[in-house]
Amino acid sequence: MSKLLLDVVNLNKDFQVKSDKTFFRKPSSIRVLSNVSFKLYEGETLSIVGESGCGKTTLGRCIVRGVNASSGQVLYNTDRGEQVDFLTLKGKEFKSLRKDIQMIFQDPYSSLSPRMSVYDIISEPLLANFKLSKSEVDEKVTEIAQKTGLNVSYLKRYPHAFSGGQRQRIAIARSLISRPRLIVCDEAVSALDVSIKAQIINLLKDLQQQLQITYIFISHDLSIVQNISDRVAVMHLGKIVELATVESLFEHPKHPYTEALLSAVPEPDPHLKKDRIILEGEVPNPANPPSGCHFHPRCAYKTDKCVQQEPELQPIHDEHFVACHYANELKLRGVTNES
């Protein structure tokens, strides 16, 4: 296993419910992340999957400090060999390390300023973090444009002149220019056409090889996740319910929620029929989560124990962690590797 890059420890995020506020009563809060803990190793791609509202985007934003976590730690091992809590860094120390952790957003149409040229968009983080001469900035912008497949002659143009795939290349070039060690990709290819998606995924993989970047890849598209990931974490109602290597999780899921998500992955062989598991009921309300296992109202395998007692995320064997009372007993259906 590679060196530890990030150790996320008991991360919690509460959002206040404004409509609940009265003159006499403080607003109540909803817990959207609950004791999320995981380790991230240098050079790997860890995907975070789950339905809309499960907390995966909030998790990414808390890690990059796009929103403030309510409690918990994001312990970051710097390239100088020190360990710091990224969430509590201030002043010069934060300024010097914030470039190490970047984020790429879902929508390439709204994440780029329409009033800035592509050159200015890409060079902005460089100018904010380093003291460089104009020729050095030119050189670095040209280099990263070439690496991300952007035509250098287009750098003076504005984002509206580009397709969705080209705009996402611009966003990737911007996130890479200050040489981050970790990039959080939040649904980074969801808004793109199928053929462009494949190009951007291949680009992310190539750049990872060339620049030894680590990715947290947030996605609801399990076919892409299977293709790009080393490990996968499944989130349900603000908690990680399963975390494993991509092979182990896809071929031998141990949590009934993972089994249901995987049943929606398209079968590559058109002659093989696949039964999709339709989860009954609504996604539970995080303001009023169910007792015991939060998945029990939709779980086909639940028992009285599940209704009363919440399962902890525990290792069932090397690198495979599951939060289910019956993880070792259930025989669940996975998917085979396409490659």
Residues at the contact surface with ligand SF4, assessed by CB under 6 A: 255-256, 293, 295-296, 299, 301-302, 306, 311, 324-326
User: Given the complex with ligand SF4, which of 10 and 308 has the nearer CB atom?
Assistant: 308
User: Given the complex with ligand SF4, which of 147 and 254 has the nearer CB atom?
Assistant: 254
Whether 241 contacts 326, CB under 8 Å: no
Whether 216 contacts 48, CB under 8 Å: yes
User: Given the complex with ligand SF4, which of 187 and 259 has the nearer CB atom?
Assistant: 259
User: Given the complex with ligand SF4, which of 269 and 304 has the nearer CB atom?
Assistant: 304
User: Given the complex with ligand SF4, which of 93 and 312 has the nearer CB atom?
Assistant: 312
Contacts of 271 (CB under 8 A, 6+ apart): none
Report the candidate in 214, 212, 317, 335 with the shortest Cα–Cα distance to residue 267: 335
Report the alpha-carbon distance of residue 295 to residue 51 in Å, rounded: 12
Report the alpha-carbon distance of residue 254 to residue 324 in Å, rounded: 8
Minimum distance from CB of 202 to ligand SF4 (Å)? 36
Report the alpha-carbon distance of residue 257 to residue 244 in Å, rounded: 14
Minimum distance from CB of 289 to ligand SF4 (Å)? 13
Secondary structure element (H or E) that encloses residue 186, with its range? strand 182-186
Minimum distance from CB of 33 to ligand SF4 (Å)? 19
Minimum distance from CB of 194 to ligand SF4 (Å)? 33
Minimum distance from CB of 26 to ligand SF4 (Å)? 33
Whether 249 contacts 232, CB under 8 Å: yes
Strand, helix or coil at 95? Answer: helix
Whether 122 contacts 174, CB under 8 Å: yes
Report the alpha-carbon distance of residue 290 to residue 307 in Å, rounded: 8
Report the candidate in 4, 155, 10 with the shortest Cα–Cα distance to residue 79: 4
User: Given the complex with ligand SF4, which of 55 and 292 has the nearer CB atom?
Assistant: 292
Strand, helix or coil at 269? Answer: coil
Amino acid at 67: V
Minimum distance from CB of 107 to ligand SF4 (Å)? 33
Minimum distance from CB of 303 to ligand SF4 (Å)? 6
User: Given the complex with ligand SF4, which of 61 and 296 has the nearer CB atom?
Assistant: 296
